[in-house]
Structure 1
Amino acid sequence: MSTVVLLSTRRLPPTYFDQVREDLGDQNITIDVVGWVAPSAWVADKVNTFTLIGPGRMPAQPAPEPEPVAEASEEAPDAVIAPEAVADPDTVVADEAKIAPAASEVAAATGAADAASTTAGAAAASPPPPAAAKPRPTGAKRVVKAVEWRARRARKVAGRMLPKAIKTSAPVKFLRGQRATSDLGKTYWERVLSRRDVMATIDKADVVVALDAGAIWAGWNLGQRKASTPVVLGLPAARREFDQLKAPAGNG
């Protein structure tokens, strides 16, 4: 069974690995991933290993679907009333006479509680006293604050002086993107090189594939270190390498 190690600095969905197997022409291929960013969802059933070397956490395993619960019948059995549960009319009249004074007492207590609640609400609605003013910095702190303020103002003025058409132009965006990619590529390679588990996984690979621009620098360095293992950019080049591995010896 062939093994491929994918180097990636982008977020990959689980369906991407199905596409990898299809593009490489082998559904039984073993896939190990060294990712800077965690996948978008659970991938343990799609790859052999996914080693996250960047920030963040791996997605949690989805919870199993709950089993269906049988619905209870809405029909209730006929209620049976015991004869002794039915009150005598004379008893009901006597109870009503006892309840009337108690109800008047409850109403008086409720009115007093409402009045107290209204007074408390009016007190809460009054605005709190204003907070004391923050003391201004003095001495060395005042000098530091003044320097920071002037630096921020200088940056704002410099940004306004540069025309918006230049800041948003394609060449400037390209240069910014290249710089960000270069910084990420170097950081990614340093992290790969410092992880023994990652290097051990790469040592077992038949082909190593750098999937994006952020992983190119790591792929190039691995190609210099491991001349016996093909290190390529993109899946089409990986497919050619796997086809050569499967070809009978002597067919060139």
Structure 2
Amino acid sequence: MNKVVLLSTRRLPPTYFDQVREDLGDQNLTIDVVGWVAPSAWVADKVNTFTLIGPGRMPSEPAPEPEPATEPTDEAPDAVIAPEAVADPETVVEDEAKVAPAAAQVAAAADEVPVSKPAATKPRPTGAKRVVKAVEWRARKARKVAGKMLPPAIKGSRPVKFLRGQRATSDLGKTYWDRVLSRRDVLSTIDQADVVIALDAGAIWAGWNLGQRKASTPVVLGLPAARRELDMMKAPTT
């Protein structure tokens, strides 16, 4: 039975792991995941292990479905109202006459309850706090002005978006790799893998470093490359 380790910095749905087995041509494949982001739902029945090394928490196990209620076999008899349970009209009038004075006393007591005054306004900062608030306000205003000075056509252009995405991916890739190195359980799981697969751009840096550390284990980018490696392992040697 082959074992693969998936390196991912994106949120993966449970159905993705069914697709992984189908794309790799092995329904009995053992899958271990090292994820920066928790999956979108419960995946314990889809993978061998899912190790979360980023922020957040793993989704909880779904509650079991309630059992359907059993219907009674015999119909319940119609309810019978005893004559003595019905109050006479005169008794009802008497009870209303007794309750009316008490209701009037409650209403009068409610009128005497003092109305709470509105909360006092928050005092303005003074001294050093006032200086700090002023500096923060000017910094926010300067950022807004700087953003407005750049034409929208440039801010939304493909080169600018590409550079921003590359910078964010690079920072995430380095952080992801540092977290992998700091986890002995993750390194132990990777050492037992037949193939290590980096699924996205954020995991490429970790995959490259793992390939330099252990040349005997194939480290590839994407599922098609992993399929070729697994097919080569299954091929008979001559």
Give TM-score, length-normalised by structure 1: 0.84
Q: Deviations over 1:124-159 (max 9, x none)?
A: 4xx834615514312x44443333333222222212
Which residue is 1:71 aligned to?
71
Pick from 148, 156, 160: which aligns with 2:148?
A: 160
Which residue is 2:97 aligned to?
104
Question: Aligned letter for 2:17?
Answer: F
Question: Aligned letter for 2:194?
Answer: D
Q: Deviations over 1:207-246 (max 9, x none)?
A: 0000000000000000111110100000000000001101
Question: Aligned letter for 2:123?
Answer: K
Q: Distance in 1 between matches of 2:80 and 2:210?
A: 84
Q: Distance in 1 between matches of 2:31 and 2:166?
A: 29
1:102–1:58 distance in 2 versus 1, CA, 3 Å: closer
Which residue is 1:207 aligned to?
195
Q: Deviations over 1:61-95 (max 9, x none)?
A: 112212222124684325678xxx766xxxx98x9
1:103 CA displacement = 3.7
Q: Matched residue of 1:32: which SS?
A: strand
Which residue is 2:3 aligned to?
3
Q: Matched residue of 1:6: which SS?
A: strand
Q: Distance in 2 between matches of 1:198 and 1:16?
A: 21
Q: Does 1:51 align with 2:51?
A: yes
Q: Distance in 2 between matches of 1:152 and 1:52?
A: 35
Q: Deviations over 1:183-218 (max 9, x none)?
A: 100000000111000000000111000000000000
Which residue is 1:194 aligned to?
182
Matched residue pairs, number?
236
Q: Distance in 2 between matches of 1:221 and 1:105?
A: 87
Which residue is 1:38 aligned to?
38
Which residue is 2:123 aligned to?
134
Which residue is 2:157 aligned to?
169
1:58 CA displacement = 1.0
How many percent identity over aligned positions?
Answer: 75
Question: Aligned letter for 1:66?
Answer: P
1:25–1:115 distance in 2 versus 1, CA, 3 Å: same
Give TM-score, length-normalised by structure 2: 0.88
Listed as ranges, the gaps of 5+ residues in structure 1 are none
Listed as ranges, the gaps of 5+ residues in structure 2 are none
Question: Aligned letter for 1:39?
Answer: P
Q: Distance in 1 between matches of 2:55 and 2:38?
A: 8
Q: Deviations over 1:16-52 (max 9, x none)?
A: 1111111111111111111111111111111111111
1:111–1:75 distance in 2 versus 1, CA, 3 Å: farther
Which residue is 2:106 aligned to?
113
Q: Distance in 2 between matches of 1:19 and 1:78?
A: 58
